Structures are given as structure tokens and as C-alpha cells.
Amino acid sequence: MKIAKMKMVSVLPLVAVSMALAGCGEEKAAQTGISPQVMADSLFAVMEADRTVYTRLIINRLQNDEKLIKASEHWQDDKALVLPAQMFRYGAERVAEKGAIFSYSLLSLWPVNKQNNPKTETEKAGLQFIADNPGKNYYGEEQLGGTRYFTAVYPDVAVAPACVKCHNDHPDTPRSDFKIGDVMGGVVVRIPLT
């Protein structure tokens, strides 16, 4: 009895979301609000813009072109610029600290930091898909810790020479042949469906 009830509860929002995903007309959209995909796409647009601006205007300009100041993982000790990936993660951590319902991370099939390897099946499938299909995004759903998520994976592209040089030369990189414009990894955005 109890089990049946619980199933109902968890299925209901799913129905709502799949209807929203399928774009069931204006009336339905008004009822269900913004679809998870639209929300994820919008969030990614902001993330991607900030990330590109930081890499081009700060890292690439000051480290690679002007050679004024380096970027370093140990930016405090080295009195250096924060790496683009750290900038991204600190932002994600701050969002989490503030209690936002969505979460995001920067992962790769060829990570410098092994903690950035894909872990869930959806992450693995998503990263492979965006690597095989440049320019396309991956959308899926997954169950993690008792919660169902809409999970989107977006390509993270080498937008500046700094990306390529730093990763290809990094002592911990498993891959040294990145070129500008290559997909280097992916941004994973998760939105709970309950």
C-alpha cells in the first residue's frame, strides 16, 4: 500500500516533465513552468559566456599574450591567477552553498584531475556523445541517491590558445593533442525532477 503510494508520487512529476519536454502546447507550459531543458540551456549559456570571457580577457591576455602573471592551481601560494576550471568549480560550489536546486560540474574523458572523470552512466554516455557529435548537446535522465534528475551535457570547447597549451603541456594530462576548437570535456547540468 505504502509502496504503491510512493511510486505514484515519484511518477507524477515525471509525467509533468515529459509533457513539458514534448512541448504540449501553451496551456500545459504555463502550468508546468519552464521545462528542465530550457532551464539547463539557459544556465549553460551564462556559464559558457562567463567561462569564455574569463579565459580570453584574463588568462589568455595576462598569462599567454602579455606574460604578466601566471595561472596556477596553487594560486594562493604562487600569488597567481585562478585556473579557469577552478573559477568554474568555485562558482559551482558557491551555488551549492546557497542551496540552489540545480548543480553543475566540468568533466572530461581526458581529465587532468582524475576526480573530473565521468562517474555516472549518464555522464559517460553524455561525454562520449558530445565528443562524437561536435556541436551537439546530450540530454538524459538518471536516478541518483533516490532522486530523479534531468541531466544535460554540453561540450566544453577550446576557445583560446591558453586552453590548448595548458592542457597539452600539463604533467597530468592523459592527452596532448588538443587543438583550438576541439571538445575538451563537458559541462554537466543537473536539475531534480521532483
Partner 1 sequence: MAIKTGQRWMLWGLLSTALALYCAEGLLGSDKTLYLPGETSHGHYQIEMACPACHGETGFGGDAVLQDSCVKCHGAELKRADDAHPKSKFTDPRNATRLAVLDARLCITCHAEHVPRRAGVMGVTLAADFCVYCHQDIAKDRKSHQGMKFDGCAAAGCHNYHDNRGLYEDFLTKHAGEPEIVASAWLPARNAVSLLRAGGTYPQTPLGAAAADAPRVQRGDALNSHQWAASGHAAAGVNCSACHQEKQAAGEKIWRERPAYQVCANCHAPEMTGFGAGRHGMRLALNLPAMRPAVARQPMKPLAHDKELNCGSCHRPHEADTRRAAVESCLGCHDDEHSRAYRQSAHFHLWENEINGAAPADSGVSCATCHLPRETRREEGRTRVRVQHNQNDNLRPNEKMLRSVCMHCHGLGYALDALADADLVRANFSGRPARHVESIEMAQRRALEKGKRGGDGPPS
- Under the rule (CB under 8 A), what is the footprint of partner 1? 63, 70-74, 76-77, 92-94, 96-97, 103, 105, 114, 119-120, 123, 144-147, 149, 165-166, 169-173, 176, 188, 190, 192
Q: Who contacts 130 (Cβ-Cβ below 8 Å, separation ≥6)?
A: 136, 137, 138, 153, 154, 155, 183, 186
Query: Phi/psi of residue 111, each to 5°?
Result: -80, 145
Q: Of residues 60-79, which lie at the interface with ligand HEC (CB under 6 A)?
A: 71, 73
Alpha helices per DSSP H over the chain: 2-22, 26-32, 36-53, 75-78, 84-97, 121-132, 161-169
- Report angle CA 54, 60, 62 to the nearest 5 degrees: 95
Nearest C-alpha neighbor of 137 from the set 146, 147, 150, 149: 150
- Minimum distance between the CB of residue 191 and ligand HEC, rounded to whole angstroms? 21
Candidates 4-12, 15-23, 27-35, 102-110; binding stretch for ligand HEC (CB under 6 A) = 102-110
Residue 171, contacted partner among partner 1, ligand HEC, none, CB below 5-8 A by kind:
partner 1
Binding residue for ligand HEC, selected from 113, 120, 128, 168, defined by CB under 6 A: 113
| Binding region for ligand HEC (CB under 6 A) out of 42-50, 80-88, 96-104, 122-130 | 80-88
Note whether 52 and 61 are within 8 A (CB): no
Query: C-beta of 135: minimal distance to ligand HEC in Å?
Result: 15
Cα–Cα distance for residue pair 156/104, rounded to 1 Å: 13
Which residues of the shown chain bind ligand HEC in the complex (CB under 6 A)? 55, 59, 71, 73, 83-85, 106-108, 111-113, 116, 156, 158-160, 162-163, 166-167, 170, 184-185
